[in-house]
Each structure stands twice: as C-alpha cells, then as structure tokens.
Homo-oligomer: A and B are copies of this chain.
Amino acid sequence: MKWVYDFAEGSREMRDLLGGKGANVAEMTRILGPERVPAGFTITTEACVAYMGTDEFPAGLEEQVAAALARLEGQAGKRLGDPEDPLLVSVRSGARESMPGMLDTVLNLGLNDASVAGLAARTGNERFAWDSYRRFVQMFGNVVLGIEGRRFEDLIAAAKRERGVSEDTDLDAEALRALTARFQELYDFPADPADQLRRAIAAVFDSWTGERAVAYRRINRIPDSWGTAVNVQQMVFGNKGEDSGSGVAFSRDEVTGAPEPSGDFLANAQGEDVVSGVRTPRDIRELESWQPAVHAQLMEILRALERHYGDMQDTEFTVEEGRLYMLQTRNAKRPAQAAVRFAVDAVSEGLLEREAALMTIDAEALDALLHPTFDPGASYAVVAEGVAASPGAAKGELVFSAAVAIRAAAEGRDVILARPFTEADDVAGFHAAVGILTSEGGKASHAALVARGMGVPAVTGAASLEIDPDAGEIRRGGEVVLRAGDRVAIDGSAGALTGDDVPLVEPEVGEAFETVLAWADEARSLGVRANADTPEDARKAREFGAEGIGLCRTEHMFFGVERSEAIVAVILAETDEGRRAGLRKLLPLQQGDFEAIFAAMEGRPVTIRLLDPPLHEFLPSLADVEERLRAAEEAGSPDVGTLERDLARVRTLQEVNPMLGTRGVRLGILFPAIYEMQVEAIFAALKVTRDRGVEVSAEIMVPLVDYRRELEILREQIVAIGERVGVERGRDYSIGTMIELPRACLRADEIAEEADFFSFGTNDLTQTALGFSRDDIEGRILGRYIEMKVFDRSPFETLDTPGVGQLVRMGAWLGRKAKEDLKLGICGEHGGDPDSIDFFHNSGIDYVSCSPYRVPVARVAAAQSAIRANGKETK
C-alpha cells in the first residue's frame, strides 16, 4: 500500500487521496515549478482511514514517511534535527473539503535545544532561530497537545512586560530563549524530531474524529469515512528579517469580485501572524512599494493560477529574504455578489465558458442577493459599527445562543444571533438566524466565513460592544445598551447595527445577476415556478422569472375580516342552504382573486389548489368560544344560545391529529359545496379574463388524494361544472392532484389515470413518510437529532432522498408508466433548495415551485443540475 506521495508525484485530480491542500500544493509544484513551492510530501487520507479503526499507524506508513523524509532531506541538503544545519518542516491537515475548525498548522517542526543552535549558526540570526523555536514549542503544545493558547499568550505578555516592550518583534533572542524555556515547563516537550513528527501526524489523524471536526462534518454533510491527509513541507521563513514576510492573496477582490487582487501581508512574520490579528496586516497593494519584484511575481502567479484552475484563487505565500514561495492555493470562498461578478467577468475575459462559469456559483448563497438592505435614503441612529462581513440586511430579536436561535426559528420568529465570536458549535444557529453579530473578528473570521457561505447577513468585529451571552445583554463601556429579545437590525453590507426602525429596501436583481440568470435559463431543463397566493405574490414571482404558479393556496384567500366571517358562517352552518348562502358570498371574492392572478401571469400556467386545511383552522379556538360563552352566561346575554351551538360545532370539528384529519379531498367529498364554489369561481375568472383578451392556463389541483377513486369523484364533479358553464378539460383547464401521501406514491399509476398532472407536496409527504409533525417536534427534536447524528439537516429543509425521495421517484415513475405525458411538479419547500433540486432534476420532474424570492436560486440550481448531468461542469 502506498501511503505517502511526494508533492512532485501528485496532481489536483488526486484530491480524494491527497486532500485539497495536498492535491493543490502538488498541482502548484507542477505548474509553477519546484523553485516556487517548498518541497514536501503528503500522507494519504487512506492512511488516516486505516489509522481510525486501530489508533495505530498502518503497516508500512512509518517506513514510507521515513523514506519520504530522507528524499526531502536529500533535496534540501539538510537533515531533520541536525544540530549543524537542521531541516525544518510544517505539518498540516488537509481533507478533501476544506474544514475550518480542524487541526491547525504546526510550523518549524524539527527544532530542539540542539538544532536551534545550528539554525542560529547557519542563518547567522539568533533572534530568528529562537523566535522559530518558541513558536514551534508554542504551536506543538497548543495544537498537538491541546494546551490552551491563552497560557502561552500570558507568558508572552509577561515577557513583554518584564522587558518593557509592546511588540512581539521587540523581544530579543535572549528573551525568546527564556520564553521558550517557560513554554517547555507547561508540558513534556519531545526533543527527538522523529518523535515530534510522529506525534504531529497522529494528532492530525486524531483531529479527524475530534468533536469540532465531527460537528463541522454533520453540518456540512461530509462523510466520516473520508479521513484527512497530512502534508509535511519544508519550512521557508517569513520571519527571517525585514526582507522576509508572509501573506494571503486573492486573485480578485474577495468581497466584490472586482478583478483586482486583494489580500494582506506582514513583513518579518510567519503565516499565523497575518490571520491571528496580533499585528495589523498591510494591504497587499503595499507589497509593490515594499518589494516590487516580489509583487510582480505574485501578480503573475495569481493570474496563472486563476487561469489554470478556472476559478478565483485564495493563496498563502511567504517571502524569505526576497524570494517568493507559494504555500497553498484553493478556490476562493466568496459572497454572492463576488461570485456573480466573477462568473460574468470570467466569461467576458475568455477564462471560462458559460456553463463552467455558472458552476463556480454557490446557488444557495445567491439568496443573499435577494435579501433586503437598509434604505440608503433613510436616516437612522447607528448603535455600533463593525466589519461588513456578509452582505444583506435583516431585522429580528436578539438572541445569544445557537440553541435559542434554533428554537425561536422553529416558532417562526426572526432572530439575530449575537456572540463575542463564533465557533463550530454555533453553526447550527447560523441556519436558524436571519443575521449574525459579533464583537470580535474581521472579514476572515469564522463568523464571517460561515455567514457568507450560507448567505446570512453578518456584522463582525463590532469592537465597541461587549457581548455577554451569559447575562443575555450587550454593554458599551459597562452600560447595558441591548438585552435579549430587543429588536434590532443589522446591515452586513455596511457593517452597521441599528434599532429596528430603519426601513429596508427590497433587493434588485443587478445587471450581472441578470446575465447569470439568463445563462441559467438557457442551460436548465427543469422548469421553475413560484408558490403565490395573491396577485402581489404573482407579480413578484414573474419579476423573479417564475414560469408559472406551481401552488396557489386558496385558503389564504379566506383570510381578511369580511372573508373569514363568511367562511366561518359556512362552517358553522347547520343546513346545506346556510352553507350555500355563505359560499355565494365568497364566490365573487375568490373569483376576483383568480382574475387578478390570471391577469398577472398572462397565460403562464397557474396551479390552483382547492381548499386543503381542516375546517376548524378557520374557526375560533375551543378555549376562545368557551371563554365567550362563559362571559355571555354571566352577563345573561341573549348570545348564549348561538355560542352554545358554535361551541358544539367547534367541538365536533376538533381533531386529535388535524394533519391526518378531515382535510383536502376528504373535505371535498364530505362537503361538495365548498369545492363546487371554488371551481365555479375559477371558471368564471377564466372566462372573464379571456374576454379581456388575456390568455389563461388554469390547472385545478385536488389535495391529499390516497385513492384513485377520490380523484375520480372530484374529476367528475369538476368536469360536470365545466360542462355547465361551457369550459372544457384539456382545452381550457386541466385537473391534477397533489401527491403528498405515501399511499399515493405507491398507487401513482392508478391515480395518474384520473390526472393531467401531479404536484408532489413534499412537505406533507415528509411529515407522513417520517411520521413527523413539523409543528410539534421540529423545535424539540431537530437539535437533539443533529447532535446525536441521526441526521445532519432538517428533512424539511433538504429532501430526505433515501426515504421521501424514494417515494417521489416511485410516484414519478409509476405516474409516467400509466400516462407518458403526465406533467410532474414539486410544490414543497424543497422546491427552492439546491440539493433537493438536483435530486428532482435527476428524477424526471418537469418543474419545481418555490417562494418567489427563491426563484432565482432555483433557476441557477436547476441549470447546475443540467450542466452536471451533461458533464459540462468544467470549461
């Protein structure tokens, strides 16, 4: 078994085996030449997997590492631990997918009391040697042995105080030697470099099964079985003096996507100084004045890498005594507007074909572009300023923990999650929150990265605030300014925190985004419709490019005072006549709604679902009527009789499990007058709208069908009404059903014989297939189940493909078997979720339908699915 690959042997195709970092370093070695990339080798992910079961290095690994090290020593002309001229190496983890929150880098490995002297002698720079050594002892203790970083920082601070200096760089060799000795008192430092290396490698392996990594994998759905690779690389030194330095560089602006490289660097520093925030880094543009040749080389390299990878790059580099080394490159994570900008620029620059450009966009993240922002014309008091870490604005109530955020979100509340800084554990809360606020960290902080990845607006580093989760309050200068539950607003595009009185403006789809969406429409085969219950929704849906309405819920038309009174009268009616009188009042109102929606859609298909929810949902609650009855009795009011009757009716309609109760088609069969009125209203609206010269395509959808016969009964009723008023199935309208019960999926062939179309109601299908009432247990169970690794994401958010998805496929297959041209749609929330969309695309579904705001996301996701399926992901 080959466990170890030299960088010179690898390539980017070997990502699964070498991890992302290892594969990219190998690739860079190939394209930039070995003089630009310090040599080294990668221990494969397979070695990690073999280690995982046994906690022992697999047979042959130790020997292969020794051989690779010997080759590296030969190349470098130095030996690890050599007291004359020691080779130093870095050890880094690198999984297939980047996983922040895993083991960090260990630098300068190979130093000990003997070799540090050799380093000093060889470089003639004693301070540099001791600085390197103390860094290594510090990192090894912290990263490999898990000793708290603060204990080292405290010792550094003490050393600075003792010497009366303020910067780390002001500590001289002697001070650093003393500091190193103090560090070594914190733990049993292994002096033998081979031992150091072995333990560092094992620590990387162990980190794969560590708590933080496991939590991260849950959320990001990375399989436990992958394992991580380990990269061992010859050190180069950015801390060798003022002509040395380290930095990070993006091939384009990482926030806006503008085609100018961006980044930070520090002179006389190692990489971790740049990101740790201990010293304030300089803008990459200043590199030009500092070392023009290095700057030019770097710019050229960034262009070359971008061309080679066909994507925006995020790199790390080190300058050692004026010589530039590239340590790492990877495709840059970026916010949505940067992603869109890059895609459009990449095509116009000839860097990528349209399909490949589309694939560089994270469809889910586009959501951020569709969020509102603060009204730029409004004036408002800024409570605090911070870093504009993830764009978009949001309003909600303040919460201080991920757990509370999840619970509140399950209850439908909008929350802003505030933390001093964030960690892997907080990520579940990111999903639940509409915005993130931290007092620490910049644009590259954990909070910023994760928030941008998810398209959640975030303001980080609001340093004037003291965020105290335990007390549930935010203080400034000791004074409480905000408390848990207070409503606030944040603008992640501007980096501002305000009260919630600021007006938000609706997002606009900018020019670049329009371009991307147009390409997406060309590429995709899956249709995208919107769920819209009102004429306003319908107009919004069209604005965002919906090709029709996939779900128009008629019950929402019963809300509003006048209407809800009428529907209550219908439900409380004791006679059929009474019921019909109420329905006659509702008919023109429904008809009016349908007319406006038909007009807005101009001939695009509109799927209208007949009344679905159980009747008691329209009634006052039992407790309410009881209360009113009690009051009326006490007051001796004449309403007692009516209220008693109402109470009896409410009681009769009460259900133990309304979700599984008298709703949908069951209601239609028990009380035919209601659906009759709705169908009459649809037909009347259809005729009126056509008479005005507007095309109409009406699809009548019967919900909650289990049995073919149920749909047959309704089909007969609808067709009969149609014949009476002179509209014809097939020509003027079609009849279909929601497939939202497991039985319907299993008998879809029979049901299809009565239907012109199916629309999979994946919300209810998930509830019934899983026996999982979203209302009841999402708040209670979801967090616990993610924690216990039952699932990694709510099945209501991303389709449970192995279970519910199988039912959808069965239903689609059987339906088409019975009726080849059966139209198949999706109208659950999953219709707007990119992962679910990919599944639907591959299941032969014709269209998805989602909330109007998700339509652009769905268009891009659908295009990506088609591109993937056609094998055109890369240029």
Contacts and interface: CB of A to CB of B under 8 A. Distances in A.
Interface in A471-510: none
Contacts of A769: 741-743, 746, 768
B802 A747 contact: yes
A802 B661 CA distance: 22
Nearest to A805: B746
Contact of A660 (B670, B747, B767, B780): B767
A662 B781 contact: yes
Interface string A680-705: 00000000000000000000000010
Contacts of A802: 746-747
Given A661-B776, A666-B777, A768-B768, A804 B656 contact: no
A781 B658 contact: no
Given A669-B784, A670-B784, A747-B802, A770 B659 contact: no
Contacts of A777: 655, 660-662, 666
Number of copies: 2
Interface string A763-776: 01001111111011
Size category of the A interface is 35 or more
A785 B707 CA distance: 10
Interface in A650-688: 655-662, 666, 669-670
Nearest to A706: B770
Given A706-B803, A777-B666, A742 B713 contact: no
Nearest to A655: B776
Interface string A256-275: 00000000000000000000
Interface in A778-823: 780-781, 784-785, 788-791, 800, 802-804, 806-807
A709 interface: yes
B741 A770 contact: yes
A746 B706 contact: no
A659 B710 CA distance: 24
A771 B658 contact: no
B773 A764 contact: no
B791 A666 contact: no
Nearest to A806: B746
A809 to B, nearest CB: 11
A769 B743 CA distance: 5
Contacts of A785: 669
A660 B781 CA distance: 12
A167 interface: no
A631 to B, nearest CB: 14
Given A788-B669, A789-B709, A790-B709, A660 B776 contact: yes
A107 to B, nearest CB: 39
A607 to B, nearest CB: 20
Contact of A800 (B669, B709, B743): B743
A724 to B, nearest CB: 21
Interface in A351-369: none
B707 A771 contact: no
A660 B784 contact: no
A423 interface: yes
Contact of A791 (B707, B781, B784): B707
Interface in A548-606: none
Contacts of A660: 657, 659-660, 767-768, 771-773, 776-777
Given A669-B784, A771-B706, A658 B659 contact: no
A666 B770 CA distance: 12
A770 B743 contact: yes
Contacts of A423: 656
Contacts of A784: 669-670
Interface in A420-460: 423-424
A254 to B, nearest CB: 38
Given A771-B764, A804-B743, A807-B742, A662 B776 contact: yes
A587 B770 CA distance: 32
A548 B329 CA distance: 66
Nearest to A789: B709
A656 B771 contact: no
A424 B706 CA distance: 26
Contacts of A424: 656
Given A657-B657, A767-B660, A746 B710 contact: no
Given A743-B800, A746-B802, A746-B807, A788 B659 contact: no
A424 B656 CA distance: 10
Interface string A128-151: 000000000000000000000000
A145 to B, nearest CB: 30
Contacts of A709: 788-791
A661 B804 CA distance: 18
Interface in A732-773: 740-743, 746-747, 764, 767-773
Contacts of A704: 771
Most buried by B among A660, A767, A780, A790: A660
A115 to B, nearest CB: 48
Most buried by B among A743, A775, A781, A788: A743
A361 to B, nearest CB: 32
Contact of A657 (B658, B666, B670, B806): B658
Contact of A788 (B713, B768, B789, B800): B713
Nearest to A781: B666
A785 to B, nearest CB: 7
Contacts of A806: 746
Nearest to A713: B788
Contacts of A788: 669, 709, 713
A657 B775 contact: yes
B656 A659 contact: yes
Most buried by B among A657, A666, A771: A771
B803 A747 contact: yes
Contacts of A770: 706, 741-743
Contacts of A742: 742, 768-771, 803, 807
A698 to B, nearest CB: 26
A662 B803 contact: no
Contacts of A772: 660, 706
A629 to B, nearest CB: 13
Nearest to A652: B780
Contacts of A780: 662, 670
A596 to B, nearest CB: 32
A423 B806 CA distance: 35
B803 A746 contact: yes
Contacts of A713: 788, 790
Contacts of A803: 706, 742-743, 746-747
8 contacts: A662-B781, A669-B785, A709-B788, A742-B742, A742-B803, A743-B769, A743-B803, A743-B804
Given A657-B658, A660-B660, A747-B802, 19 more contacts: A655-B773, A655-B775, A655-B777, A656-B773, A657-B773, A660-B773, A661-B776, A662-B777, A670-B780, A706-B770, A709-B791, A713-B790, A741-B770, A742-B770, A742-B771, A743-B803, A746-B806, A768-B768, A768-B771
Interface of A: 423-424, 655-662, 666, 669-670, 704, 706-707, 709-710, 713, 740-743, 746-747, 764, 767-773, 775-777, 780-781, 784-785, 788-791, 800, 802-804, 806-807
